[in-house]
Amino acid sequence: MRRIVTGAALLLAVSAVEASRAQATSASALAWMAGSWAGADGRVEHEEHWTAPKGGAMVGMHRTIRDGRMVEFEFLRIEEQKGGLVYLSMPNGRSPATPFTLKTLEGQRVVFENLAHDFPQRVIYWLDGDDLRARIEGTANGKERSMEWRWSRAILAP
């Protein structure tokens, strides 16, 4: 009887690990990022918009407005690919997109990484209360560097 109980417990543990891995490869695990987000830092406004996960992907965009003019934009997407989720970044529309593979996904915090990229090497998103936070980090010219954003849910005006 003890062997049956131990075997059942082991089977449940393996099933839980497999379910966790399956979730980590599903864009639906990032549904908490979906929506329109905005924040300001002095005269600079930042917006980030993410579609809900559908068809194995999320599509996003970021734009930075300074003194009423767009000064930067970025096309983004997160896709389910063989082996896991991949964050694809196209700053100022540059093609091809730079891929960052999923490193960790814990609750409402996700880290993507590409150690071969010049800067950044890591892209991180997390929920902080009702706010979406993002951080890019890595090494540039031999020095540690990072940038961070904080956005609240936005209501889009025409």
The token pair at 61 is: 């965009």
The pLDDT mean for the chain works out to 88
For residues 44 and 157, the answer to whether their CB atoms sit within 8 Å is no
Q: In the predicted model, what is the mean pLDDT of residues 66-83? A: 96
In this prediction, residue 25 carries a pLDDT of 75
**pTM for this entry:** 0.84
Amino acid at 48: E
In this prediction, residue 144 carries a pLDDT of 97
In this prediction, residue 59 carries a pLDDT of 98
Count the Cβ atoms, other than its own, within 10 Å of residue 86.
19
In this prediction, residue 71 carries a pLDDT of 98
Whether the pLDDT of residue 136 is over 90: the answer is yes
Whether the pLDDT of residue 53 is over 50: the answer is yes
What CA–CA distances, in Å, run from 95 to 37, 92, 98, 115?
25, 9, 8, 19
Question: Tell me: domain 2-153, CATH 3.40.50.1220, correct?
Answer: no
Among the listed residues 115, 114, 109, 152, the one whose alpha carbon sits nearest the alpha carbon of residue 130: 152
Count the Cβ atoms, other than its own, within 10 Å of residue 76.
19
DSSP state of 30: G
Domain ranges of the chain: 2-153
In this prediction, residue 11 carries a pLDDT of 38
What CA–CA distances, in Å, run from 61 to 17, 26, 38, 112, 136?
33, 20, 12, 17, 15
Whether the pLDDT of residue 5 is over 50: the answer is no
The token pair at 64 is: 């930075």
Distance CA 138, CA 103 (A): 14
Whether the pLDDT of residue 21 is over 60: the answer is no
Distance CA 129, CA 110 (A): 15
Whether the pLDDT of residue 98 is over 60: the answer is yes
For 2-6, 98-102, 134-138, 145-149, which range has the lowest pLDDT when averaged over its residues?
2-6
Q: In the predicted model, what is the mean pLDDT of residues 36-63? A: 97
